[in-house]
Structure 1
Amino acid sequence: MSSTRITMRATRATLGASVLALTLLATSACGPDNSSGDTTATGAATNAPDLGLPANLADLKKWSFDDWEKWAKDYALPAVAKGYWNLDRMLSAQPAGQVKPSAPQPSTAPAQSAQPTTAVPKPSTAQTPGGAPTQPGDTGSDPAPQTVTAQAVPHPYAKNMAVFGKIFFDQPGGESLAPGKLGQHYVCSGTVVADPAHPGKSNLVWTAGHCAHQGKGSTFNSNIVFIPDFNSSGAVTGGKRPTDPSQYAPYGEWDAVNYVTSPVWKAEGGGPVGPAAQYDFAILRVKPENDGGKSLEETIGGAVPVWFNAPRDQLAVTNYGYPAAPPFDGMELNHCEGGKPSRYSLDPARPPMLAIGCSMTGGSSGGGWLATKDGKPALVSNVSVGFEGEPKYQTGPYLDSVAAGLFDFIAKKG
């Protein structure tokens, strides 16, 4: 896994515990056992028969709670051994993400091409509400955004920054490696999101799909833990090694006990960056390593609502994350003022990703992209793919009705 980045536009509103009223997916649909339905092809899911996916992605938007439950057979995660994530393991963790070497050349290649397009060959701007092209010649991608230099959040972090944190995990098979060996431990970023089924008491963390599951032919990551407000005090800044975990993990460690990621990511993800990145998101349900009886949201004092199907022309995005690949070291929370996102597509039949300028590197994968909705911050995406070279920018999935259905499932599942 390489690196991906995060950017969100600084909002003056305080991050609070307010919950966005979500429209829950309740339409009857053909699910994993019966995939007949919409005839409009929106990108076939590779390896669908093995995972029980519908014949086309449009049908995923119709799945009911029961359909999601039939599909999510590996919803539960093995317990993380108490004390597993000590500071030595955390510091040895490698940045996780997906990376492209530099700004790709403009292309008019077919949608399924693994080569990203960075320019629309014709000035056609007609789009669906989700940003998908509706006229010939529009590839679903806009010109690449200009580089935005990431800025470190000053210590100590403000109270509303506690919704951001680091995610540590082992890739499948990593447990068999010698302790501390490179390739065993990895790190991403995540954001505490409001749970509509448990108002004010959320235990949900939003991140990238590749931070939870390795994609096609693989399985979920193991020993996943979330540390909100990591290094808020600056205790591990500049190579310092405190012995008291509360100095770098002020709210403790939160073990992932359940997770969901998009069916598209499970069926197609992993390997070279491809169209699966357009559905590269996941949600973790966590519990405290040392249970004090309070939820994550109650413990840190807030959570961010998720804004699904957000109108692109209303978005001004800022992202936050913990970049760990050079020139960063993973110890500092950074953000990028990305502004209005452009479109980025690897398959025009799927919702184009959001793209913003940002110089963050690997380790920021999964970090939240925030925009303002009704005067308050809301999560609209997460870092999926990062581009090195010039310009430096990141892309994140557009959270459509598939993401809303997945979120509804894990919220209700409890």
Structure 2
Amino acid sequence: MRPIRPALAAVGLTAVLALAATACGPGDDNAGSKPSSSASSSDGIQIPDDIKERLKEHGFDLDKWKNGEWKNWDRDKWLREAQDFINPIIDGLWDPDRMKGADKQPQKPVANDISGDKGVTDPTPAPVNAQALSSPYHSSLPALGKILFDTPEGSAVCSGTVVKDPAHPGKSNLVWTAGHCVHAGAKGGWYRNIAFVPSYNDGGKTAAQLPKPTREQLAPYGVFWANGALTSDQWIAGGGPTGGQGAPYDFAVLHVTPEKGSTKSLEETTGSAVAVDFNAPAVPKIASMSANGYPAAAPFDGQKLFRCVDKPGRLSIVQNDPTMYRLGCTMTGGSSGGGWLTSGQDGQPTLVSNTSIGPVTAGWLAGPRLGKEAKDVYEAESKKFANQ
């Protein structure tokens, strides 16, 4: 599984700008502002002048980037600051073979026993065997999907959930996932070529049953590229490859746009988006919670959607930081970022957390309890694209 980033005393937001072929132009910290002019590449991508100049400052040429320059992970080429994020659509990059083969995870497991951590921690839960969801996934959990991205070690995967957008009711393009699925933390920067595939492998076939998968099999509702993202400053400032103090703030929100120029939003495409609860009840008052995702590390193959249902317990990483939720679950790496759902006041599924860390033995998972910091990230990402 993957661990998380250390939390700092002060909580903040890290805004992300991205270039996308179908976007009018990336937002910036001044929501609603528009550049006075823009330059276009030969394939029609609109690049606002201020963004283009920023890319030049870092020595990037968009055409070279799309032709493979993105594979350059030199320290001075690995952008980490908010205003430096670039994620231009590279049409066809995520072809079926590359989607199927993206099974690495960006971080490593935590120790099996972290009982020495200070704070409020309940006994380690008994493992709960992950159960495969029935296919087609679009009928059972249409808001779930797989997140694909590139790292210095190769292509990697996480899981994500389509969530409602207060700025665009019924037409959301927001995806909830883990912070470590978009940013490497203290010793790195933003991952690249980040994309979301709703209802990935909708038919629920195994890797062996997909020797030569088609795009329709793996991405029946298309591929959506991130043209915006937000995560907490804690993860960016202190996140590490084996977790850390930032776990209670390991969340991120992506804004996506279709690779193939569709006019439909992600929510309209999938027919589903779940609400996010930033004031979920205390652990003793929650009867059960489900963790959902596409586990890719053995014994799973990354192609099928699984779920664990358990009554949550509490896990404390740092005494003065928020206590996390913890569930018994045998899911492995790849399920990170997947939504933790419970029944909301209206009886509908509501997102209350996301998979963040887990042990080598894959017997449990932990996720952040979403509070003010998570709400700030969510609302800022919604506001950023409110006028688009």
TM-score, scaled to structure 1: 0.72
Change beyond 3 A, Cα 1:230–1:265: same
Sequence identity percentage: 42
Q: Deviations over 1:280-306 (max 9, x none)?
A: 111111001112201000010010110
Q: Deviations over 1:103-147 (max 9, x none)?
A: 30532x5x5xxxxxxxxxxxxxxxxxxxxxxxxxxx221111110
Structure 1 match to 2:277: 307
The SS at the match of 1:385 is coil
One-letter amino acid of the counterpart of residue 357, structure 1: G
Contact 1:80/1:224, CA 8 A, preserved across alignment: no
Aligned to 2:141: 161
Task: Indicate whether 1:149 and 2:129 are aligned.
Answer: yes
Map 1:122-137 to 2 at 5 A: none
CA offsets 1:139-187 (integer angstroms, 9 cap, x no match): 221111110000011222252412111111012xx3xxxxxxxx21001
Shift of 1:387: 1.5
In the other structure, the counterpart of 2:98 is 89
Equivalent residue for 1:208? 178
* Cα distance in 1 between the residues matched to 2:106 and 2:92: 25
Contact 2:3 2:241 in 1 (8 A): no
1:77–1:259 CA contact under 8 A, matched in 2: no
1:170 counterpart = 2:124: no
- Go from structure 1 to structure 2 and tell me whether the alpha carbon gap of 1:298 and 1:217 turns closer, same or farther (over 3 Å shift): same
Aligned twin of 1:80 = 89
1:368 to 313, 335, 339: 339
The answer (yes or no) to whether the contact 1:170–1:184 under 8 Å persists in 2 is yes
Deviation at 1:97, TM superposition (A): 5.0
- CA distance in 2: counterparts of 1:249 and 1:310, whole angstroms: 33
Change in Cα spacing, 1:170 to 1:158, as seen in structure 2 (3 Å) is: closer
Measure how far apart 1:102 and its partner are.
5.2
Query: Is the contact made by 2:3 and 2:244 (CA closer than 8 Å) also made in structure 1?
Result: no
| Secondary structure of residue in 2 paired with 1:210 | helix
Cα gap change, 1:266 to 1:44, in 2 (>3 Å)? closer
Q: CA deviation at 1:75?
A: 7.3
> Residue 219 of structure 2 aligns to which amino acid in structure 1?
A
Task: Choose 281-290 or 73-82, whichever is displaced more.
Answer: 73-82
Amino acid paired to 2:139:
K
Alpha-carbon contact 1:191-1:368 (below 8 Å) kept = yes
Q: Which moved more, 1:283-292 or 1:89-98?
A: 89-98
User: What is the letter of the counterpart of residue 333 of structure 2?
Assistant: G
SS of the equivalent of 2:375 reads: helix
Is residue 335 from structure 1 mapped to residue 307 from structure 2 by the alignment?
yes
The alignment partner of 1:336 has SS state of: strand
The residue aligned with 1:398 is 369
1:224 aligns with 2:204: no
Q: Is the 8 A contact 1:369 1:379 kept in 2?
A: yes
Tell me which residue corresponds to 1:297: 267
What is the distance in 2 between the residues matched to 1:83 and 1:376?
Answer: 36
Match of 1:24 in 2: none
Which has the higher relative contact order, 1 or 2, with Cα contacts under 8 A spaced 6 or more apart?
Answer: 1
Q: Which moved more, 1:90-99 or 1:199-208?
A: 90-99
* Post-superposition offset of 1:101: 5.6
Q: 8 Å contact 1:95–1:324 — kept in the other structure?
A: yes
TM-score by length of 2: 0.76
Query: 1:353/1:243 Cα in 2 relative to 1: closer, same or farther (>3 Å)?
Result: closer
Measured at CA, do residues 95 and 253 of structure 1 come closer, stay the same or move farther in structure 2, by a change above 3 Å? same
What is the CA–CA distance in structure 1 between the aligned matches of 2:7 and 2:271, rounded to whole Å?
42
The 2-side partners of 1:105 and 1:299 are apart by 42
User: How big is each residue's C-alpha offset from its partner over 1:372-392, in whole Å with a ceiling of 9 and x where there is no partner?
Assistant: 111111100100101132x70
Contact 2:195 2:223 in 1 (8 A): yes
Give the equivalent residue in structure 2 for 1:351: 322
- Mapped pair 1:318 → 2:298: no
Residue in structure 1 matched with residue 74 of structure 2 by the alignment: none
What RMSD, in angstroms, separates the aligned Cα atoms of the two structures? 2.4
Distance 1:222 1:44, change over 3 A: closer
- 1:270, CA displacement in angstroms? 1.7
**Contact 1:95-1:186 at 8 Å conserved across structures:** yes
Structure-2 separation of matches of 1:353 and 1:72: 27
SS of the aligned residue for 2:327 comes to strand
Secondary structure (helix, strand or coil) at the match of 1:408 reads helix
Shift of 1:60: 4.7
- Check whether the contact 2:227–2:255 (CA below 8 A) recurs between aligned residues: yes
Q: Which residue of 2 aligns with 1:30?
A: none
Task: Give deviations 1:47-81, integer Å, cap 9, x for gaps.
Answer: xxxxxxxxx33x659xxxxxx94898337532131
Contiguous gaps of at least 5 residues in structure 2:
14-27, 31-79
* 1:408 alignment counterpart: 379
